[in-house]
A = this chain, B = another copy of it.
Amino acid sequence: MPESVNTYHSIVPLEWLGPHERRKSLAGWSSFVYRAIDRRDGKTYALRRVEGFRLLHEVAFAAVEKWVRLSHPGIVKLKEAFTTKAFGDHSLVFVYDFHPGAQNLYSAHIAPDPMASGPRAPWNLGHPNAKPIPEDTLWAYIIQVAGAIKAVHDQGMALRLLDVSKVLVTGKNRVRLDCCSVLDILSWNPTLSLELLQQEDLIAFGKLIYVLGCRDVNALEAAPKAIDTLMRSYSSAINNLAYFLLSKSNKKKTIDEVWVKLAPRMATETASLFSYADTLENQMMAELENARLVRLLAKLGFVNERPDFSREQRWSETGDRYIIKLFRDFVFHQVDEMGNPVMNMGHVLSCLNKLDAGIEERIMLVSRDEQSCLVVSYKEIKSCLESAFQ
Interface residues of A (CB under 8 A from B): 72-74, 143-144, 146-147, 150-151, 171, 174, 256, 259-260, 262-264, 266-267, 269-271, 273-278, 280-281, 283-284, 287-288, 290-291, 293-295, 297-298, 300-302, 304-308, 328-329, 331-333, 335, 339, 341, 343, 345, 348-349, 368, 389
A308 to chain B, nearest CB (A): 7
Residues of B within 8 A of A276 (CB): 277
Complex Cα spacing A331 to B304, Å: 12
A331 to chain B, nearest CB (A): 7
Complex Cα spacing A280 to B171, Å: 13
Complex Cα spacing A82 to B276, Å: 31
Residues of B within 8 A of A150 (CB): 267
User: How many copies of this protein are present in the complex?
Assistant: 2
Residues of B within 8 A of A288 (CB): 287
Tell whether, in the assembled complex, residue B341 and residue A271 are in contact, meaning their CB atoms are under 8 Å apart. no
Contact of A259 among B74, B266, B339 (CB under 8 A): B266
Complex Cα spacing A275 to B300, Å: 38
Contact of A306 with B147 at beta-carbon distance under 8 Å, contacts A262-B263, A264-B256, A287-B288 already known: no
A354 to chain B, nearest CB (A): 15
Residues of B within 8 A of A329 (CB): 305, 307
Complex Cα spacing A220 to B267, Å: 28
Contact of A290 with B294 at beta-carbon distance under 8 Å, contacts A147-B267, A343-B302 already known: yes
Complex Cα spacing A74 to B267, Å: 11
Residues of B within 8 A of A345 (CB): 295, 298
Q: Which of A73, A146, A174 counts the most B-chain CB atoms under 10 A from its CB?
A: A73
Tell whether, in the assembled complex, residue A348 and residue B269 are in contact, meaning their CB atoms are under 8 Å apart. no
Complex Cα spacing A270 to B348, Å: 42
Residues of B within 8 A of A269 (CB): 270
